[in-house]
A and B are shown apart, each in its own frame.
Chain A
Amino acid sequence: MQIRDHSQSNIFHRAASGGVLLVIGLGMLVIGWNYPTGQLTQMGPGYVPRAIAVMICAIALVMIITDITGATIAKPSKIQWRSLIFVSASMLIFAFLVDVAGLVPSVFLAVIVSMLADREAKPLSILIYATLATSAGWLLFLVVLELPIPAFWRWS
């Protein structure tokens, strides 16, 4: 037997997957609207983007319809916000620091921030581990591999 759940919040949840896809497709279409398309035998740069965008929108609509009217589907799994935020912060810190402050500070801070995603991590162990990881990183990337990244602040 099929269970149909028509509760309000559920429809949005169900349509979410297709909905996001539709947004992407429409976005492509709108941004690429003015690209010259040409014809099939003399394709302009806009031909394929428009074709792909249209196909994405079409599939998105099909998905929305099948998801809403179909049997109960598995709900999208819960988003782990803590993980997401700290991993993102960690990588962004690295990105913003590396050109300015060099490899060592960037790696150090990135490791610390990423470890904060783990609820149970203790401050002291984080600092010790970060120091170890940064030293190992320095050894591997700058000494062994000799990547052209400065270790510390570039004096400018």
Chain B
Amino acid sequence: MIEQFLMGLSVVLQPEILIYAFAGVIIGQLIGVLPGIGAITAISLLLPVTFYLDATSSMIMLAGIYYGSQYGGSIASILLNLPGTPSSVVTCLDGYPVAQNGRAGLALFVAAFSSFVGGMIGVSILVLAAIPMTHIALRFGAPEYAMLVVLGLLAASLVGTGSQLRSFAMVLVGIALGIVGADATTGFYRYVAMPEFADGISLVSLAMGLFGVSEIINNAAKRDRTAPKIKVNMRDIIPTRAEARSLGGPILRGSSIGSFFGALPGTGAAIASFMAYATEKRFSRTPEKFGKGHLPGLAAPESANNAASQTGFIPTLTLGIPGDAVMALIIGALILNGIIPGPRLMVDQPMLFWGVIASFFVGNIILLLINIPLIRLWVLLLRIPYQKLYPVIIVMICVGVYSHRTSVTDVVLTLAFGILGYLMKSHRFEPAPVLLGFVLGPLLEDNFRRTMLIYRGDFMVFLERPISAVLFGCTATLILFSIYSTIKKHRHRETPHAVKQR
């Protein structure tokens, strides 16, 4: 595998090919920074260009756009509390507070570095373990997905910082929003008030509205918006030794979680980032620090979403099966070039296969080298008074959301979610759990019903299948552990109380 990787590297490092890698990641980064415009828009616009290029260059460029956008998405999240992509939503939770505390440069550095490590670990898994990962992914049928989502929902109910009750209510609201549309199992229309809702509410509208527009409404009319003190020296951008040490674990865990969810079709960077964040918070000794500017809470999701965007190529490259809509586009580009994606790709087109993988390696390095110097530029952006900034952001969100499905309804919906998010914030409801419920709810319902349909209503199938049983075990353990620690907390509280009463 290593020799083949080196062969791939020799393919990429030719100047003509390198240009496309460079172009791809730059465009991807730009797309990621712009809120609302996603990789899918960019790739579909560049598809005609691939008619004139050879397969390898096309793939390398389009792939660069895909994982490059994960680098850019965190920038707006950190600086403006505005996610550039749905997978950057979690980055807002701790990234923005760090910037608000005056250390925007540090946040951007940590994000870039975590993204780089996550991406590299993803690439390594791609190189070393693509086939085994594929086999594992194929063992995940409907029961396994259902159990995974249950585990995910439980673990991620910790994402919010406010009261547990309110967070859970928001998860339910998110699930409710995810229900809108045609039911996947029967095609029945649920809560479809107009035909535009038939395919469900767009994730981009929800994310941009709930996080972006609500933030703008919150800040637009504030009279004195003092820009946070900005530290732009190299010294202040790099974390202290203690801080750096605290990041090792989160980055590694985040990358692993991200790599796993990336390789699993149907789940991707967004879910990976949520899971990574929740895992960090769950296993942290200081969970109360999350949401207030805690660096591990920034590093984990950032490494997760980049790892996921790399391993997302595993089903595409080893099976020819797209894991999501963007991959379908990339496969389309391959088909147009006369290449048939499938298990034979690795054997029939080794130059393409390994060239693309090697381009990921090179691309991540390019992105890191670009992003570090750019930190100063981004931080200077914060000096622009908010009064001048937010109209531009509104327009970017409008155009971005509109261009997604050429839909005016989407724009109005984004506004509606913005107003909703704003009202929620004023009533101390957290928006992040809504997104989580929105993404995971339908996944759970679809897979549970599919399980019941295929296995004819037999509940035992969840325990009979090995992976599903393991996940069930983890879920049960998690529930028991939570009950245990809640009891422990109550005991601690009772003792000082009892002492007081004497």
- A binding-site residues for B, Cβ under 8 Å: 16-17, 20-21, 24, 28, 31-32, 35-36, 41-46, 48-49, 52-53, 55-56, 59-60, 62-63, 66, 74, 76-80, 82-84, 86-88, 90-92, 94-96, 98-99, 103, 106-107, 110-111, 114-115, 117-121, 129-130, 133, 136-137, 141, 145-149
Whether B457 pairs with A80 at a CB distance below 8 angstroms is no
Query: In the assembled complex, which residues on chain A have CB atoms less than 8 Å from the CB atom of B414?
Result: 91
Whether B388 pairs with A45 at a CB distance below 8 angstroms is no
A80 to B, closest residue via Cβ: B221
Give the distance to chain A from B169, nearest Cβ to Cβ, in Å: 5
Give the distance to chain B from A82, nearest Cβ to Cβ, in Å: 5
- Give the contacts of B198-246 with A (CB-CB under 8 A): 213, 216-223
B477-494 vs A, CB cutoff 8 Å, 1 = contact: the mask equals: 000000000000000000
Whether A133 pairs with B395 at a CB distance below 8 angstroms is yes
B410-425 vs A, CB cutoff 8 Å, 1 = contact: the mask equals: 0110110011001101
Give the distance to chain B from A111, nearest Cβ to Cβ, in Å: 5
Give the distance to chain B from A110, nearest Cβ to Cβ, in Å: 6
Can you list 7 A-B pairs, Cβ within 8 angstroms, ordered by A? A21-B173, A77-B425, A80-B222, A92-B415, A95-B411, A98-B398, A107-B395
For A45, give its contact among B188, B408, B415 (CB under 8 Å).
B188
Query: In the assembled complex, which residues on chain B have CB atoms less than 8 Å from the CB atom of A62?
Result: 165
| Cβ-based interface call for B449 (8 A) | yes
Query: In the assembled complex, which residues on chain B have CB atoms less than 8 Å from the CB atom of A84?
Result: 217, 419, 422
Query: Which among B66-74, B86-94, B132-140, B399-407 touches the partner chain?
Result: B399-407
Whether A149 pairs with B402 at a CB distance below 8 angstroms is yes
Whether A114 pairs with B173 at a CB distance below 8 angstroms is no
B395 to A, closest residue via Cβ: A107
Whether A148 pairs with B395 at a CB distance below 8 angstroms is no
| Cβ-based interface call for B108 (8 A) | no
A130 to B, closest residue via Cβ: B391
- Bound-state Cα–Cα, A16 to B42, Å: 43
Whether B427 pairs with A17 at a CB distance below 8 angstroms is yes
Give the distance to chain A from B369, nearest Cβ to Cβ, in Å: 23
| Cβ-based interface call for B45 (8 A) | yes
A133 to B, closest residue via Cβ: B392
Query: In the assembled complex, which residues on chain B have CB atoms less than 8 Å from the CB atom of A44?
Result: 186, 188
B375-407 vs A, CB cutoff 8 Å, 1 = contact: the mask equals: 000000000000110111011001100110010
Whether B457 pairs with A32 at a CB distance below 8 angstroms is no
Give the distance to chain A from B424, nearest Cβ to Cβ, in Å: 9
Whether B457 pairs with A45 at a CB distance below 8 angstroms is no
- Give the contacts of B443-491 with A (CB-CB under 8 A): 445, 448-449, 452, 457, 459
- Bound-state Cα–Cα, A155 to B429, Å: 46
- Report which residue of A43, A86, A91, A130 has the largest number of chain B beta carbons within 10 angstroms of its beta carbon: A91
- Bound-state Cα–Cα, A28 to B213, Å: 25
With A56-B172, A133-B392 given, is the CB distance from A48 to B427 under 8 Å?
no
- Bound-state Cα–Cα, A48 to B449, Å: 10
Query: In the assembled complex, which residues on chain B have CB atoms less than 8 Å from the CB atom of A53?
Result: 176
- Report which residue of B220, B423, B448 has the largest number of chain A beta carbons within 10 angstroms of its beta carbon: B220
| Cβ-based interface call for B51 (8 A) | no
Give the distance to chain A from B500, nearest Cβ to Cβ, in Å: 14
Query: In the assembled complex, which residues on chain B have CB atoms less than 8 Å from the CB atom of A82?
Result: 221
- Report which residue of A78, A87, A121 has the largest number of chain B beta carbons within 10 angstroms of its beta carbon: A87
- Give the contacts of B150-190 with A (CB-CB under 8 A): 165-166, 168-169, 172-173, 175-176, 179, 183, 185-186, 188, 190
B336-352 vs A, CB cutoff 8 Å, 1 = contact: the mask equals: 00000000000000000
A44 to B, closest residue via Cβ: B186
- Bound-state Cα–Cα, A146 to B418, Å: 27
| Cβ-based interface call for B278 (8 A) | no
- Can you add 11 more A-B contacts, CB < 8 Å, to A17-B428, A110-B398, A114-B390? A20-B427, A21-B173, A41-B459, A43-B448, A43-B452, A76-B426, A86-B221, A87-B217, A90-B394, A98-B408, A145-B41
Whether A91 pairs with B394 at a CB distance below 8 angstroms is yes
Query: In the assembled complex, which residues on chain B have CB atoms less than 8 Å from the CB atom of A94?
Result: 395, 398, 402, 411
Query: In the assembled complex, which residues on chain A have CB atoms less than 8 Å from the CB atom of B457?
Result: 41-42
Whether B172 pairs with A55 at a CB distance below 8 angstroms is yes
Give the distance to chain A from B38, nearest Cβ to Cβ, in Å: 12
With A17-B429, A84-B422 given, is the CB distance from A118 to B188 under 8 Å?
no
B115-156 vs A, CB cutoff 8 Å, 1 = contact: the mask equals: 000000000000000000000000000000000000000000
Give the distance to chain B from A56, nearest Cβ to Cβ, in Å: 5
With A28-B176, A146-B45 given, is the CB distance from A87 to B165 under 8 Å?
no
Whether A56 pairs with B176 at a CB distance below 8 angstroms is yes
- Bound-state Cα–Cα, A130 to B392, Å: 9
For A49, give its contact among B176, B216, B427, B428 (CB under 8 Å).
B176
With A83-B221, A114-B220 given, is the CB distance from A45 to B165 under 8 Å?
no
Give the distance to chain B from A38, nearest Cβ to Cβ, in Å: 9
Whether B452 pairs with A42 at a CB distance below 8 angstroms is yes
- Give the contacts of B38-64 with A (CB-CB under 8 A): 41-42, 45
| Cβ-based interface call for B330 (8 A) | no
Query: In the assembled complex, which residues on chain B have CB atoms less than 8 Å from the CB atom of A136?
Result: 392
A114 to B, closest residue via Cβ: B391
- Bound-state Cα–Cα, A52 to B474, Å: 24
Give the distance to chain B from A75, nearest Cβ to Cβ, in Å: 9
